[in-house]
Structure formats: structure tokens, C-alpha cells
Amino acid sequence: MNGTLTLVATPIGNLGDLSPRAVEALAGADLVCCEDTRRTGSLLKHVGVRAAELKRVDEHTEFEAIPAVLDRLSAGEQIVLVSDAGTPGVSDPGERLVSAAISADHEVTTIPGPVAAISALVASGLPTGRFVFEGFLARKGRARDEQVAAIAGERRTVVLYESPNRVAATLMLLAERCGADRRAVIARELTKLHEEFRRGTLAELATWAAGGVKGEVVLVIDGATDVAELEDAQLVERLSVARAGGASRRDAVDAVVAETGAKKRRVYELALNL
């Protein structure tokens, strides 16, 4: 019998969201890999499952856990991977294990369920047809500037994870770079007692968040609606980031034109004045 690695989604707050198929997979697994054995242990207890074995596989141990997990898959075992909450691999461990299992020709499957990003998106009221997920923004430096510049020109709805103590600063930066009037939604404490969807402009949400935010949050940001509305300052910001990253003037212009759809002549003239 072939072993299978199954990624199982678990609740992001409300324990009632653990699916019957998830319970079945957890109960039938030879090994459950999880970020925190105590946390997953209490989830299993809640549904009356006694796991055959729990093993800690978190962001620090995922890489070193790979050889042992591959050996056990080769021996035909059924291995489940869960994270603390939601879907493994989504801003959580999983990607490296999945990639290693696939490279070693093992079967990989998933039992779908909660993902905070998707719940926030679908209830946000912002366009859901096309969206991008950015995970957590870099905390500082050029990587953060580049991500924010990309969001400023992004036409699709953008979904971000953020910690409650950084959300005010992030919203302030986004309001400054994407335009204070860009619509956005903070989805807070999804599926929990104090679930809240706070809708407004980036500037309004930044002001609200400055008073302190409690609980887990997802930010959903409207796409840039009309390229013509992109301010010169926003194009200049993107040009500066590209130039600071080592791009020649011509490459920076091409990149900004490709990202934003703005007229090449306009971007070129802005680049000349940088």
C-alpha cells in the first residue's frame, strides 16, 4: 500500500468547523504532524479522537522532519499534516514537506476547510472574481516597500495577514502609498464570538486601528480601479523602488508600465525627473 500525505484544514476559531472528513483522516492516520502537539491534542480530544502518534512539525522543524516523514510514507503509512489553525501551507508550515513528498513520488492530497484569507475575502463585499494573497508583509526594508508599491498598482483585490499590534502602522503606510480613499475591510476574529467586519477607506481604518486592535485580523484591500487615477507620486514611488533595486531607467519604466498599465510616455517623463 502506498503512503499518503494529507493536508487537513482545521478551524480558525469555531471548533464546529472541523469537517467529518477531517475527523476521519485524523482518526485513521498513523502519524499526525502538527505545529503544537498540545494544541492539536486538545482539538482531537474535543472530537473524541485518539491519534496514533503526534509529531511536532513547525516552521523551525519542518525541514529536519522531512527524511523521517518520507521514510514513513515509503513504508505505506497514512500521514496527516495540520497547522495550529486553518489550512497548512497558507502562511503556515507545509510547503516544504509537500514539495519533498511530491519529489519522492508520494501521493499528496488535502481535506479542505477554513482559510482565514478566503473567509475574509468572500464576506468583505469587495470584488472576489480576481484576487491576490500576499500573506504577511515584510516587517521593514526594501522588501516591504516593494510589496506596498506592488499593492498600490494592483488591480485585483489584495488579501493580507497582519498581527494586531502592527495593523495600525500597516494601514497608515497603505493609506499613504495606495491612496487614503482606497476601500478596504478588516475582518477580525473570524468565526469567533467577537467576529467583526469593519469596512471603510484605508485612511478611516488606519484611524480606527490607531486606537488599538485586539484579536486576529485579515486585511482585504480593493484593487486600483483606474490606472488614470494613479497619482504621479505613486508611479514615482514605484520607479524609485525599481531603481533602488538596481534596475536601469529603461527597465524601471518597463516594469512600472507592465505593472500599472500606465502610458509609457508618462512614466518615462516621470523617470527623467527622478
User: Contact with ligand SAM (CB under 6 A): which of 77, 92, 145, 222?
Assistant: 92
- Looking at residue 211, the DSSP 8-state letter turns out to be T
Quote the least distance from Cβ 98 to ligand SAM, whole Å: 14
Nearer to ligand SAM, 189 or 254 (CB): 189
Task: Show the site string, 137-176: x = touches ligand SAM by CB under 6 A, - = not.
Answer: ------------------------xxx-------------
Residue 232 three-state SS: helix
Residue with cell 527597465: 251
Query: Is 91 an interacting residue with respect to ligand SAM (CB under 6 A)?
Result: yes
Quote the least distance from Cβ 56 to ligand SAM, whole Å: 16
Residue 247 three-state SS: coil
Residue with cell 477554513: 114
Pick out residues in 56-75 that bind ligand SAM (CB under 6 A). Answer: none
Nearer to ligand SAM, 65 or 218 (CB): 218
Query: Is 87 an interacting residue with respect to ligand SAM (CB under 6 A)?
Result: yes
User: Contact with ligand SAM (CB under 6 A): which of 7, 8, 12, 267?
Assistant: 12
The alpha-helical segments, DSSP class H, found in 83-201 are: 95-103, 116-124, 141-153, 167-178
Pairing of strands 157-162, 131-136: parallel
Half-sphere exposure in the Cβ direction for 41 (13 Å, CA): 7
Cβ–Cβ contacts within 10 Å for residue 221, how many? 27
Nearer to ligand SAM, 162 or 237 (CB): 162
Quote the least distance from Cβ 214 to ligand SAM, whole Å: 11
Residue 93 three-state SS: coil
Question: Which segment (51-59, 173-181, 210-218, 232-240) binds ligand SAM by CB under 6 A?
Answer: 210-218
| Cβ atoms 83, 94 nearer than 8 A | yes
Q: Which helix (H) or strand (E) holds 264?
A: helix 264-272
Residue 104 three-state SS: coil
Nearer to ligand SAM, 54 or 187 (CB): 187
Q: Which residues bind ligand SAM (CB under 6 A)?
A: 12-13, 83, 85-87, 90-92, 115-117, 161-163, 187-192, 216-218
